[in-house]
Copies of this chain bind each other. A is one copy, B any other.
């Protein structure tokens, strides 16, 4: 016997039940994206390496899956590089395509390539897998889906307000209670300006982030360790002690940053977004979090991060505003704002909280029995009517023992079995058995359809 086959590490098969749950997640997100006026696009799994390389830092370049050129890829390879074992430079000679690493760079490439066909502002969403040659570990895969929505070509903060509403809408549908953390890159720039250490901004945010866990004193000690001057630490104190309601926090922040032009602008943007969202009402808790510093090399305005309240897991959605999505492809100055839902983590949260709707299961509602040629032929006529009524249904294809047939319905959690034996056939009816209650009734097809349809 051949070796039992396997799949590459870090990848997954999805069976029927997992697919039903994943489809529930993707369909929910997709329908909300559409409700908010986002249009779907898809880009190829393979991009030219010239599009991908250099966009994710040196580490990212290494994590790209590269595709070997077809045919005799050695022919055009530089012997010197091979002899020197310089595989990094050799790669560009034997590989010109790679698998997409995220949806953002392909989106930027798409916008530039199709600039003349697009209506600005362009609101797009994209739900596709991405690939990363990361070391696989629990919850980290080499193939996983991203669900992104972005608006480009508009500076208006209405876009931020709408994206926050959209996030709220998605998680309300899922029944997941969330906190949306908000920050603004300009506020962080203001803080750095204020303490005269712009290059230390990441150290500062990392330290601030620990206040709740280790207290102000320890944060100050850590800041000192990270090389922040005592003077800067003193200047930082009012920011570290910001507390209270979101409004109260905004006021304190506004005072502290009053001398920084960019910081003040950041506070004003935060206030406009928060006021805008609160005027419309939100189920989620909104939290102004000055330590939130995701995508610091990338985001230029609003920064968004979503946490589940009832499950200890990392960020389940994130996003922000950027100023220059497409500059690297020769189209500068295009601002946008976007969010990305973490489908795998949302899947874990829904599983943990057992929040799937009852009907997130296999579509088959009725299984017809098969007692032989004549009975099966009669059953298939009724089966056809069921399907015409929109009911997912199947017939056991072989005339196996009744017990075996019922075992299938049971194993697949098919809620009804339609028994068509000799007596049913002679009456042109079927016996509908409810697999949950065990009840069964002799019914016409029309009656059976009504019964199945009225069962929720």
Contact = CB atoms under 8 A, between A and B. Distances in A.
A362 interface: yes
Interface in A61-109: 62-63, 65-68, 70-75, 82, 85, 87, 90-91, 94-97, 99, 109
Number of copies: 2
Contacts of A328: 2
A216 interface: no
A298 interface: no
A443 interface: no
Interface string A328-343: 1110000000000000
B5 A397 contact: no
A158 B177 CA distance: 48
Contact of A387 (B35, B43, B75, B87): B35
A56 interface: no
Interface residues of A, number: 110
Interface stretch (A111-119, A224-232, A262-270): A111-119
A45 interface: yes
A145 to B, nearest CB: 10
A397 B156 contact: yes
A95 B113 CA distance: 32
A8 B363 contact: no
A381 B280 contact: yes
> 9 closest Cβ contacts across the A-B interface?
A37-B394, A16-B39, A11-B44, A2-B330, A34-B363, A156-B397, A1-B330, A154-B397, A19-B40
Given A5-B112, A16-B124, A35-B392, 16 more contacts: A3-B330, A4-B330, A7-B47, A8-B47, A37-B364, A45-B45, A66-B67, A67-B99, A70-B133, A72-B85, A74-B85, A156-B370, A158-B380, A158-B395, A162-B395, A280-B384
Interface of A: 1-8, 11-16, 19-20, 22-23, 34-37, 39-48, 50-51, 62-63, 65-68, 70-75, 82, 85, 87, 90-91, 94-97, 99, 109-110, 112-114, 117, 119, 121, 123-124, 129, 131, 133, 142-143, 151, 154-156, 158-159, 161-162, 165, 169, 276, 279-281, 328-330, 362-364, 367, 370, 376-377, 380-381, 384, 387, 390-395, 397-398, 408, 411-412
19 contacts: A4-B329, A8-B47, A13-B41, A13-B42, A19-B41, A19-B42, A36-B393, A37-B363, A37-B367, A39-B363, A39-B364, A63-B70, A66-B67, A73-B87, A119-B411, A151-B397, A154-B397, A156-B370, A280-B380
